[in-house]
């Protein structure tokens, strides 16, 4: 074996440790991955900046953050079903390219407007949310069209790794760097460039452009959107494993969104740090994501994906519930070491947020791979759209309640109560699915 071959195999092994080996050598997948990387990096930076501009500091920060996140989730109520139908019938590379061209335009609006105008901040957040409603199912359902079935776990791991990079760069690098130095407008300009690059990458994924567009049938499908969506939902519920994967992913997403809503109040009251610097506490959670991506590829060879989904959900709930105990855990750590109580709380928060990121990573990869594998491609756009719809609609009441109640009882009690309620809902869903499955088998 030559030295070149040894070096090549070594590099391949290192990439496989995190994202599934040679998957990025597939041209169509590489373009999809790079497009998502550019798009999500810009999106994360913009959303964090808009959140800081909308929330700021003060006693009502939790309520403001709840209102901002709710405004971002509201388009789901009207566009969720339509987006799934359109994604299943239109070429996905054109859908994704058009979405990022629209986001490019939104950045120009932010550049030319005043960042002190909250109407502009909320308006752009609403428009970005509309594009995300179409982007999420398009990106998820595009995966089986650019990779083979045996590559789904590796591809989803690579997708999650790209999501991690975009979160670190967007949340922890770009947004804080611009906000603490030259301000938000240059950030919006840089984000516009990234959105334009993403549109170019998506547009050149030719394997997603093989589908012929029948405008008449597409229009008819949109008009008959309820039946189209009901058909996909019936197909999903007929497969218990896929159905439960969607449900627990929805509940885990709700838990994470509630945690994000509580973040401003949590960082101010519990950790005693400014809101704009909170990201530096949660940035180390990236380590948990990387470990999750590595472990899920090992476990899926030995454990059924359904069990991985369940284990990931249990760990997510446990990690978030433990965040409610940061103060007593921080006191224990500071008493056992020479660090201050504040430093102890920050260390405990870093560890628990990393555990939450690890378990959410395992849950996300195994759940998406399971749906990609078990649900026919022609239904996947609507199924992933349904997941987005359920995630957002299920999150709005807890988010609003969390924003209001946190001002009265504090973020720790709200966080713990939310995790208990979501865990009970998960157990109820499992029981219902098991009964329905038993009844079908008996029939």
Secondary structure in 3-state letters for the chain:
CCHHHHHHHHHHHHHHHHHCHHHHHCHHHHHHHHHHHHHHHHHHHHHHHHHHHHHCCCCCHHHHHHHHHHHHHCCHHHHHHHHHHHHHHCCHHHHHHHHHHHHHHHHHHHHHCCCCCHHHHHHHHHHHHHHHHHHHHHHHHHHHHHCCHHHHHHHHHHHHHHHHHHHHHHHHHHHHHHHCCCCHHHHHHHHHHHHHHHHHHHHCCHHHCCCCCCHHHHHHHHHCHHHHHHHHHHHHHCCHHHHHHHHHHHHHHHHHHHHHHHHHHHHHHCCCCCHHHCHHHHCCHHHHHHHHHHHHHHHCCCCCHHHHHHHHHHHHHHHHHHHCCHHHHHHHHHHHCCCCHHHHHHHHHHHHHHHHHHHHHHHHHHHHHHHHHHCCHHHHHHHHHHHHHHHHHHHHHHHHHHHHHHHHHCHHHHHHHHHHHHHHHHHHHHHHHHHHHHHHHHC
Determine the Cα–Cα distance for residues 186 and 102; give it in Å rounded to an integer. 19
Question: Residue 10: what pLDDT?
Answer: 42
pLDDT tier, 40 (very low <50, low <70, confident <90, very high otherwise): very high
Q: In the predicted model, what is the mean pLDDT of residues 14-30? A: 64
Question: Residue 202: what pLDDT?
Answer: 92
Interaxial angle between packed helices 240-269 and 341-374, expressed in degrees from 0 to 180 and rounded to the nearest 10: 160
Average the pLDDT over each of 57-61, 296-300, 322-326, 363-367 and give the range with the smallest value. 57-61
Token duo for residue 110: 């932010």
pLDDT tier, 53 (very low <50, low <70, confident <90, very high otherwise): confident
Question: Residue 13: what pLDDT?
Answer: 39
pLDDT tier, 8 (very low <50, low <70, confident <90, very high otherwise): very low
Determine the Cα–Cα distance for residues 125 and 195; give it in Å rounded to an integer. 15
Q: Assess whether pLDDT exceeds 70 at residue 77.
A: no
Average pLDDT, the chain: 78
Question: Residue 21: what pLDDT?
Answer: 52
Q: In the predicted model, what is the mean pLDDT of residues 235-244? A: 83
Burial level of 142, CB count in 10 A (0-12/13-18/19+)?
buried
Q: Assess whether pLDDT exceeds 90 at residue 38.
A: yes
Report which of 39, 214, 236, 47 is spatially closest to residue 136, judged by C-alpha positions.
39
Most confident of 185-199, 233-247, 328-342: 185-199
Determine the Cα–Cα distance for residues 67 and 434; give it in Å rounded to an integer. 37
Q: Are 347 and 333 in contact (CB under 8 A)?
A: yes
Report which of 439, 438, 417, 387 is spatially closest to residue 76, judged by C-alpha positions.
387
Question: Residue 132: what pLDDT?
Answer: 83
Q: In the predicted model, what is the mean pLDDT of residues 1-25? A: 49
Determine the Cα–Cα distance for residues 304 and 41; give it in Å rounded to an integer. 32
Average the pLDDT over each of 23-27, 28-32, 95-99, 309-313 and give the range with the smallest value. 23-27
Q: In the predicted model, what is the mean pLDDT of residues 137-141? A: 82
* Between 232 and 3, the higher pLDDT residue: 232
Question: Residue 198: what pLDDT?
Answer: 94
Question: Residue 28: what pLDDT?
Answer: 87
pLDDT tier, 213 (very low <50, low <70, confident <90, very high otherwise): low
Question: Residue 327: what pLDDT?
Answer: 87
Average the pLDDT over each of 46-55, 89-98, 249-258 and give the range with the smallest value. 46-55
Q: Assess whether pLDDT exceeds 90 at residue 409.
A: no
pLDDT tier, 79 (very low <50, low <70, confident <90, very high otherwise): low
Token duo for residue 384: 């992933």
Question: Residue 6: what pLDDT?
Answer: 41
Residue-range domains of the chain with CATH? 25-438 (1.20.1250.20)
Question: Residue 318: what pLDDT?
Answer: 92
Please enumerate in sequence order all residues whose Cβ is within 8 A of that of 250, keeping only pairs 6 or more positions apart, or say none.
387, 390, 391, 394
Question: Residue 104: what pLDDT?
Answer: 95
Q: What is the CA radius of gyration of the chain?
A: 22
Percent of the chain scoring above 90 in pLDDT: 13
pLDDT tier, 241 (very low <50, low <70, confident <90, very high otherwise): confident
Token duo for residue 90: 């239109």
Question: Residue 92: what pLDDT?
Answer: 84
Q: Assess whether pLDDT exceeds 50 at residue 9.
A: no
Q: In the predicted model, what is the mean pLDDT of residues 299-312? A: 83
Q: In the predicted model, what is the mean pLDDT of residues 358-363? A: 87
Average the pLDDT over each of 138-152, 267-281, 402-416 and give the range with the smallest value. 267-281
Q: Assess whether pLDDT exceeds 90 at residue 420.
A: yes
Burial level of 367, CB count in 10 A (0-12/13-18/19+)?
buried
Residue 75: CB atoms within 10 Å: 20
pLDDT tier, 437 (very low <50, low <70, confident <90, very high otherwise): low
Residue 182: CB atoms within 10 Å: 10
Question: Residue 1: what pLDDT?
Answer: 43
pLDDT tier, 218 (very low <50, low <70, confident <90, very high otherwise): low
Sign of the C-alpha dihedral computed for residues 204, 165, 304 and 12 taken in this order:
positive
Q: In the predicted model, what is the mean pLDDT of residues 402-409? A: 76
């Amino acid at each position: 074996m030559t030295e070149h071959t040894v070096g090549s195999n070594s590099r391949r092994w290192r990439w496989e440790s995190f994202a599934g080996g040679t998957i990025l050598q597939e041209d169509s997948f590489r373009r999809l991955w790079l497009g998502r990387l550019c798009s999500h990096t810009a999106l994360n930076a913009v959303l964090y900046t808009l959140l800081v501009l909308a929330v700021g500091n003060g006693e009502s920060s939790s309520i403001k953050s709840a209102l901002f996140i709710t405004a971002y989730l509201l388009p789901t109520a009207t566009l969720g079903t339509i987006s799934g139908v359109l994604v299943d019938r239109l070429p996905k590379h054109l859908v994704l390219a058009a979405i990022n061209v629209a986001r490019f335009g939104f950045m120009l609006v932010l550049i030319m407007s005043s960042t002190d105008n909250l109407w502009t901040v909320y308006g752009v957040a609403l428009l970005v949310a509309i594009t995300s409603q179409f982007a999420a199912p398009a990106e998820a359902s595009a995966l089986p069209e650019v990779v083979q079935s045996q590559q789904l776990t590796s591809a989803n791991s690579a997708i999650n790794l790209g999501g991690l990079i975009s979160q670190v760069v967007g949340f922890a690098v770009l947004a804080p760097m611009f906000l603490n130095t030259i301000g938000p407008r240059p950030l919006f300009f840089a984000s516009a460039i990234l959105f334009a690059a993403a549109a170019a990458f998506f547009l050149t994924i030719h394997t997603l452009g093989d589908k012929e567009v029948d405008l008449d049938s597409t229009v008819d499908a949109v008009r008959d959107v309820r039946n189209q969506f009901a058909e996909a939902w019936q197909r999903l519920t007929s497969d218990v494993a896929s159905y439960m994967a969607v449900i627990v992913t929805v509940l885990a997403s709700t838990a994470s969104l509630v945690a994000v809503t509580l973040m401003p109040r949590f960082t101010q009251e519990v950790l005693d740090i400014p809101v704009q610097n909170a990201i530096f506490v949660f940035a180390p959670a990236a380590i948990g994501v990387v470990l999750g991506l590595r472990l899920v590829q090992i476990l899926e060879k030995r454990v059924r994906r359904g069990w991985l989904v369940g284990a990931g959900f249990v760990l997510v709930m446990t990690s978030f519930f433990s965040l409610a105990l940061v103060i007593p855990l921080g006191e224990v750590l500071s008493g056992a070491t020479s660090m201050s109580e504040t430093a102890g709380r920050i260390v405990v928060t870093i560890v628990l947020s990393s555990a939450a990121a690890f378990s959410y990573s395992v849950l996300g990869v195994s759940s998406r791979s399971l749906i990609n594998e078990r649900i026919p491609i022609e239904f996947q756009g609507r199924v992933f759209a349904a997941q987005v719809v359920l995630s957002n609609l299920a999150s709005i009441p807890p988010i609003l309640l969390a924003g209001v109640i946190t001002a009265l009882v504090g973020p720790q009690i709200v966080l713990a109560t939310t995790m208990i309620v979501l865990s009970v809902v998960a157990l109820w869903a499992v029981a219902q699915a098991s009964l329905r499955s038993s009844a079908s088998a008996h029939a």
